[in-house]
Structure 1
Amino acid sequence: MEYREERKYFCSDYQLEILKHRLKAILPYDVHQKDSSYTISSLYFDTADNQCYYENSAGVDDRKKYRIRIYDHSDSNIRFEIKEKLRGKTKKSTVPITRSQCEDLIAGHFLPADNDSSVLSQIYLKEHLQFLHPAVIVEYERTAFTYPIGNVRITFDRNISAIADPSGFFSAQNARIPVLPTHEHVLEVKYDELLPDHIAQLLELDTLTQTACSKYFLCRQACDITNQL
C-alpha cells in the first residue's frame, strides 16, 4: 500500500449527527460493518525506552506504530499492523496472526522471524533489539463510510478509551479510561491522492477542529495520569 492522506478532527455528538445524515445519503457504509457501528480494539506495543510514545509526543515526522487489531472482541480476524507516518501521510502494513500467536505476544514471548512476511520480520527485529512489548489497549466504536474514487474512507470514532491491562484484550468487560471529554469524538478522513470535491463539500463544518492527535498517545497519557492518582 502506498502512503495516504489522513486528516483528523475533534467532533461533538451534534457535529457527527450532521455529517452522518449528509454522508449516508451518498456514501455506503463499510462492507464489513453489520450494524451502525463496530468495536475496534487495538493493542499497541512500544520499546523498552518508549520510542513510539516519545516520537509521537515530539512530532517526529518519520515514525512507526506497532499494534494488534481485532473487531467486536472476536478472534476471527486478528491482524498485526505496522502504521508508518511520513511527511504527513500514512501507510499501513498488515499480516494475519493466530490467537495463539497473539497470546504469545501479550505474554512477552517473541514470534519467530518469517522470510515470507516483512511485517513479521520487522516485529522480530524490534522484539530482539528494542524489547517491543505490550503498552496499552485503545478501544472505540467506529462508523465507517467508503467511496471507491480516491479510495476514500471516512470514519467516526466514538467513546475512545484506554485499557491498561493487555491480558484482557479479547474481553468486553475491561475497565476503561475515557481519554476525551464527554461527547467528544474523532472524525478521520483518509484518501489516496485527491478528495473528490463533492465529498469535501459534505464535510464542510466551520466549527471542525483539525488535530494531529494520536489515539495511542492519548491513551498512554490517560493511563499514566490514572496511575499517578
Structure 2
Amino acid sequence: MSDLFDSMTGAVTSGSSATPREPASVLESPSLFGPDTEAGSATAYEVKFLLGEDQVREIVGRVAGHLALDPYADPARGNAYQTTSVYTDTPTFDVFHRTDGYDRDKFRVRRYGAAGPVFVERKSKNGDKVRKHRSKIDAREVADLAAAALNGEWAGEWFHSQLIEKQLRPICRVAYERVAYLGTADGGTVRVTFDRNIRGVLADQWALEAVGTGAPVLTDRVVCEFKFRTAMPALLKGIVADLNLVPARFSKYRNFVLSTGLVPVAAPAESAGAQARDREAADV
C-alpha cells in the first residue's frame, strides 16, 4: 500500500483549496472511469475507516463546509438514502476466494434510493488503485440479466456478457443507508461517504426488492470512505492526522457471506496465506 500511504502522509500545504468548483449534481465519483480504461492507468483510491458516531460527527463538521451533499440525499432521512446491491459470484465462490481470473473484477447491480436509478457495475482493483465502470438501466430490465442471450443493443449488454463468460449468478442483496458528500479539493473530485445499518439477504434471482431487516453485517460502527484520485487532498489528510484515523479493510459482500456461513472459514490445516485472504475483507 505504499502509493496509498504516501498519498495520506504527505505534508498539508496552506495553499490547498477545498472549495467546491462545481455543484455535486454534475460531478461523478472519483473512482468512475470509462469502459476502456486500463487497470494500470486508474489512479483512484477508496480509503475505508470503521468509525464511531462521535468521529463521524467530527468529520461531517469538517467536510460539510467544503463539499456538497450527494444529489440523492433525502432530508427526511437525515440526508441519507438507501443503497441496494445485488452481488454476484460463481457456484464455487471464485470471487470470494479470489481465484485467478476473479481476483480483480467484481460485478454487481446497484440501486440508489428505494425507487431511484439502477446501474450495472464492474469494480476493478489493481493494487491500491480502484476503477469502476457502470451503465444505467431501467429497473424493469434487471430481470433480463437472467436471459441466456440478448440482442446486443442494450446498455447492459457488456455486463450480461461478463456474467455468461464468468458464470456469475446472484448471491445476495445487501442494503444500507448512506450519507455522502461530493465536491472538489486540491483541483480534483472528492467523495466522502458514511454507511450505516448494513444488512443482507440471500438472493438467487435478479431482483432489487427491499432487504428489510435482513441479517446484520455491521452494527456497532459506521463505514466511512474517502474517495479521491492521485493523492489525498489536504482537507482529508488533515482529518486523518487530527483524528488519528487508521484505514481498515471491510467488504460488505465478504462479511455477509462469512456471517451467513455460505463459505466456511478457512480450516487450520490450510496455509496461513489462504487464511489471511479469507480474514481480509478487502472491498468487493
Q: Which residue of 2 aligns with 1:131?
A: 167
Q: Gaps spanning 5+ residues in structure 1: where?
A: none
Q: Is the 8 A contact 1:40 1:72 kept in 2?
A: yes
1:67-123 per-residue CA deviation (whole Å, 9 max, x = no partner) reads: 11012221x411100001111111111112223321233xx3345263786x63353
SS of match in other structure, 2:150 = coil
TM-score (norm 1): 0.83
What does 1:73-88 correspond to in 2, within 5 Å? 73-74=114-115, 76-88=116-128
Name segments (4+ residues, structure 1) moved above 4 Å. Answer: 166-169
Letter in 1 for 2:109: I
1:191–1:44: structure 2 CA closer, same or farther, 3 Å change rule?
same
Q: Which residue of 2 aligns with 1:157?
A: 195
Counting matched residue pairs gives 219
1:82–1:183: structure 2 CA closer, same or farther, 3 Å change rule?
same
Q: Is the 8 A contact 1:66 1:81 kept in 2?
A: yes
What does 1:36-51 correspond to in 2, within 5 Å? 36-51=79-94
Shift of 1:178: 1.0
1:111-162 per-residue CA deviation (whole Å, 9 max, x = no partner) reads: 5263786x633531431x3321101112111111112232111101112112
| Distance in 2 of aligned mates of 1:31 and 1:205 | 29
Q: Which residue of 1 aligns with 2:113?
A: 72
Shift of 1:200: 1.8
TM-score (norm 2): 0.68
Q: Which residue of 1 aligns with 2:225?
A: 188
Q: Gaps spanning 5+ residues in structure 2: where?
A: 1-32, 34-41, 265-284
Q: Is the 8 A contact 1:7 1:190 kept in 2?
A: yes
| Distance in 1 of aligned mates of 2:246 and 2:53 | 14
Letter in 1 for 2:226: V
Q: Which residue of 2 aligns with 1:95?
A: 135
Higher share of residues assigned strand: 1
| Distance in 2 of aligned mates of 1:168 and 1:122 | 13
The worse-fitting range, judged by mean Cα deviation, of 198-207 and 10-19 is 198-207
Q: Which residue of 1 aligns with 2:24?
A: none
| Distance in 1 of aligned mates of 2:102 and 2:205 | 31
| Distance in 1 of aligned mates of 2:74 and 2:205 | 27
Instruction: Kindly report the root-mean-square deviation, in angstroms, between the aligned alpha carbons of the 2 structures.
Output: 2.9
1:27–1:211: structure 2 CA closer, same or farther, 3 Å change rule?
same
Q: Which has the higher Rg, Structure 1 or Structure 2?
A: 2
Q: Which of 232, 243, 259 lines up with 1:222 in the alignment?
A: 259
SS of match in other structure, 2:258 = helix
Shift of 1:206: 4.1
| Distance in 2 of aligned mates of 1:50 and 1:61 | 10
| Distance in 2 of aligned mates of 1:27 and 1:197 | 13
1:33-76 per-residue CA deviation (whole Å, 9 max, x = no partner) reads: 232111100101112221111119x9x995111111012221x4
Identical amino acids, percent of aligned pairs: 25
